[in-house]
């Protein structure tokens, strides 16, 4: 190309031609964004872009490039590597939450014939200091008991669990300096913070009584008071003054509550029945907590001010937020501690009752079922035993499909349940073999004495790449040294897919003896953000890790290492060697992912026709393809239970 240019020579202007040559881009790899050294927070959506220029000046296509994230803690080698997808050299990722030991994240771009280029992303951390008044008491930080005062450096944007024991050293927890329940979930902010738990001499505790109690029989604290009411049973109710102008709807305070103790004689499934009243839209809810578990937001706006208007009290059941059916709790015999926290002024409680829905039988059964051909159509599966409340956990053996597949279960009854395969994108699937483990709901031991429990809860919460992977905090009914957790979505109230997942203190941790969260995950599917989702039943079983023999069948239950990769990985799947070889090839296995190293979400399946051998089990992780087609996934930990032969055994209480 030529340009015209005027040049001044003495007293004359001369027009000359200047030849210009277009410069070709310099060959190599360039990451244009984010900038090297940028800070990164937990659960942050980060956009990135870059190019690879060949020696002839051409730009390499997306499929010729390879992007990946590398997460480092104290080790020299990255603990987690995650592949990324791009379109026109651009993409985005969710940084996730890989724990407070995370020291560095690398974003790397590579291509054949080029040296890999990486930029550093610096985890943004703040200092949280924890104190008690008086000093020297214990607090639990992410399930670990620590003596105050102490400090932690924690990722901005992360979610962490903080718990102040309700009672210690003849003292009782009163409040945090920023309000909140004694046990709380913290979303870490951008500034350093000090949190102080204040304790006082132990207040009176609720004396344990029957399953039905008048509200005023509880021990009240703070702005929760015993009120006079002409419509209440006995002329008294518990609540706050409508005119007190106190609203804890977003930040409930443990100082304002009423405590009850109820003695359960019959183990079983219970509901919390209430008689409640509320005059206005802003006066119709409490927070309810059972046995120091998660506090449920209980709104009774749907039943008051209708057929039985205020100030009359209406019979109701405690429900979770956006959950239509009453919450149900599996309770063992013994004392149960129940608290109602002030959430909205004017909400009133007249009386309450722990109502037995279904007693846990004195004995139960556990059985294994192998179904040779499961399709995308619902099919009924018969049980060999009869159950009051069967808990069903299933795993597919991936042999015939190239597409992702999850197992769905519904309509579990005394003698049968239904199941099918489902592709997250709604595509057709061919039949696969499926293994299902069924047990009576409750707390049990196997004939050889191994402890386990089979439980069920209901939730409308969904976890995934578009959320913070919080899960729901639950507790064990048994105590375990090395818990191994399995789970299943045991209803199909929504047409869209979902799979079970569990975690420990952080999303990448497996459940521990002190800490477990679990729930329903939908990976990268945008449908997880729908506001009109129906609640689903989440079934889970927890076993003490180990091996043994029942009904002549050897078995092993264990939590494997981070070794099970995704479908698109260079080496898909992975395997675990058994603690000791079986005499013959095992005929049954179930598996569940434990923790979530990857940000895209995943679940585990048995891998291939030879998934089971005398010495090992082969597994594979898989992802949905709703938002993108890739199925590369970092290595995950998976729980597995293997029986040498199918079994049907009687269970007894521990």
- Boundary (domain end) residue, out of 544, 561, 581: 544
Share of the chain above pLDDT 90, in %: 64
Cβ–Cβ under 8 Å, residues 587 and 370: yes
Looking at the predicted structure, is the pLDDT value of residue 578 above 50?
A: yes
pTM comes to 0.75
Residues 6 or more apart whose Cβ sits within 8 Å of residue 164: 132, 139, 140, 173, 176, 182, 183, 197
Q: Are residues 266 and 355 in the same domain?
A: yes
Cα atoms in the Cβ-side hemisphere of radius 13 Å centred on 461: 21
Q: Are residues 218 and 343 in the same domain?
A: yes
Q: Are residues 602 and 637 in the same domain?
A: yes
- CATH number for the domain spanning 280: value is 2.60.120.260
Confidence of residue 80 (pLDDT cuts 50, 70, 90): confident
Looking at the predicted structure, is the pLDDT value of residue 253 above 80?
A: no
- CATH number for the domain spanning 622: value is 2.60.40
Count of other CB atoms within 10 angstroms of residue 117: 17
Total count of domains within the chain? 5
Looking at the predicted structure, is the pLDDT value of residue 244 above 70?
A: no
Task: Tell me, yes or no, whether 353 lies in a domain.
Answer: yes
Cβ–Cβ under 8 Å, residues 466 and 385: no
Confidence of residue 636 (pLDDT cuts 50, 70, 90): very high
Q: Are residues 422 and 514 in the same domain?
A: yes
Share of the chain above pLDDT 70, in %: 93
Confidence of residue 304 (pLDDT cuts 50, 70, 90): low
Q: Are residues 354 and 398 in the same domain?
A: no
pLDDT of residue 23: 63
Q: Are residues 370 and 431 in the same domain?
A: yes
- Boundary (domain end) residue, out of 184, 201, 218: 201
Q: Are residues 424 and 527 in the same domain?
A: yes
Of 143-152, 538-547, 644-653, the least confident: 143-152
Task: Tell me, yes or no, whether 36 lies in a domain.
Answer: yes
Q: Are residues 380 and 511 in the same domain?
A: yes
Q: Are residues 477 and 621 in the same domain?
A: no
Cβ–Cβ under 8 Å, residues 461 and 518: no
Mean model confidence pLDDT for the chain: 90
pLDDT of residue 25: 77
Looking at the predicted structure, is the pLDDT value of residue 630 above 80?
A: yes
Confidence of residue 604 (pLDDT cuts 50, 70, 90): very high
Q: Are residues 411 and 426 in the same domain?
A: yes
Of 67-81, 360-374, 484-498, the least confident: 67-81
Residues 6 or more apart whose Cβ sits within 8 Å of residue 463: 469, 470, 471, 501, 519, 520, 521, 522, 528, 601
pLDDT of residue 206: 77
Task: Tell me, yes or no, whether 417 lies in a domain.
Answer: yes
Q: Are residues 351 and 437 in the same domain?
A: no
Domain limits at 106? 28-123
Confidence of residue 11 (pLDDT cuts 50, 70, 90): very low
| Chain segment 255-271, per-residue pLDDT in tens | 789 999 999 999 899 99
| Chain segment 201-230, per-residue pLDDT in tens | 876 777 899 999 999 999 998 889 999 999
- Boundary (domain end) residue, out of 160, 184, 201: 201
Q: Are residues 533 and 622 in the same domain?
A: no
């Amino acid at each position: 190309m030529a340009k015209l240019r005027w040049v001044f020579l003495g007293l004359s202007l001369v027009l000359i031609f200047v030849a210009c040559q277009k410069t070709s881009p310099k060959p190599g790899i360039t990451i244009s964004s984010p900038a090297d050294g940028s800070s990164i927070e937990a659960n942050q959506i980060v956009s990135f872009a870059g190019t690879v220029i060949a020696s002839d000046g051409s730009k390499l296509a997306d499929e010729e490039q390879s992007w990946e994230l590398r997460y480092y803690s104290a080790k020299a080698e990255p603990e987690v590597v995650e592949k990324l997808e791009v379109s026109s050299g651009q993409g985005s990722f969710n940084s996730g939450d890989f724990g407070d030991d995370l020291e560095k994240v690398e974003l790397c771009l590579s291509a054949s014939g080029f040296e890999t280029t990486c930029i550093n992303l610096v985890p943004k951390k703040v200092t949280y200091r924890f104190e008690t008044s008086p000093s020297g008491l214990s607090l639990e930080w992410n399930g670990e008991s620590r003596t105050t005062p102490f400090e932690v450096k924690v990722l901005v944007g992360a979610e962490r669990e903080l718990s102040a024991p309700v009672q210690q050293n003849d003292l009782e927890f009163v409040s945090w300096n920023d309000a909140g329940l004694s046990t709380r979930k913290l979303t870490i902010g951008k500034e350093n913070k000090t949190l102080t738990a204040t304790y006082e001499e132990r207040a009176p505790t609720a004396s344990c009584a029957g399953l039905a109690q008048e509200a005023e029989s509880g021990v009240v604290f703070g702005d929760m008071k015993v009120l006079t009411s002409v419509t209440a049973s006995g002329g008294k109710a518990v609540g706050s003054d409508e005119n007190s102008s106190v609203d804890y709807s977003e930040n409930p305070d443990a100082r304002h509550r009423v405590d009850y103790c109820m003695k359960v004689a019959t183990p079983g499934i219970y509901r919390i029945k209430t008689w409640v009243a509320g005059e206005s839209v802003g006066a119709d809810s409490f927070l309810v907590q059972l046995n120091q578990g998660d506090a449920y937001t209980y709104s009774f706006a749907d039943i008051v001010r209708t057929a039985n208007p205020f100030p009359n009290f209406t019979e109701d059941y405690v429900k979770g937020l956006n959950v239509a059916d009453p919450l149900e709790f599996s309770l063992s015999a013994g004392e149960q501690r129940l608290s109602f926290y002030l959430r909205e002024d004017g909400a009133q409680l007249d009386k309450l009752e722990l109502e037995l829905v279904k007693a846990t039988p004195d004995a139960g059964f556990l059985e294994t079922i192998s179904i040779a051909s499961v399709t995308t159509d619902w099919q009924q599966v018969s049980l060999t035993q009869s159950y009051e409340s069967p808990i069903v956990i299933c795993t597919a053996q991936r042999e015939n499909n190239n597409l992702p597949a999850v197992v769905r279960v519904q309509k579990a009854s005394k003698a049968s349940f239904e199941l099918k395969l489902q592709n997250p994108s709604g595509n057709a699937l061919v039949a696969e073999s499926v293994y299902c483990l069924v047990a009576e709901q409750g707390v049990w031991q196997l004939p050889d004495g191994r402890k386990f429990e089979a439980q069920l809860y209901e939730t409308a919460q969904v976890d995934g790449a578009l959320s913070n992977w919080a899960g729901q905090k639950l507790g064990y009914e048994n105590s375990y040294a090395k818990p191994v957790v399995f789970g299943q979505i045991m209803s199909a109230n929504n047409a869209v897919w979902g799979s079970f997942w569990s975690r420990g203190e952080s999303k990448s941790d497996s459940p521990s003896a002190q800490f477990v969260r679990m729930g329903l995950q939908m990976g990268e599917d945008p449908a997880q953000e729908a506001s009109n989702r129906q609640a689903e039943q989440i079934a889970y079983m927890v076993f003490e890790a180990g091996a043994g023999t029942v009904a002549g069948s050897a078995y092993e239950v264990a939590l494997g290492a981070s070794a099970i990769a995704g479908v698109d990985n260079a080496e898909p799947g992975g395997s675990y060697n058994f603690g000791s070889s079986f005499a013959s090839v095992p005929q049954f296995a179930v598996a569940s992912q434990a923790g979530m190293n990857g940000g895209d979400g995943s679940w585990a399946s048995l891998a291939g026709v030879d998934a089971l051998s005398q010495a090992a089990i082969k597994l594979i992780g898989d992802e949905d393809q709703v938002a993108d087609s890739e199925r590369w996934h970092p290595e995950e930990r998976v729980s597995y239970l293997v029986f040498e032969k199918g079994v049907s055994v009687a269970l007894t209480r521990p």
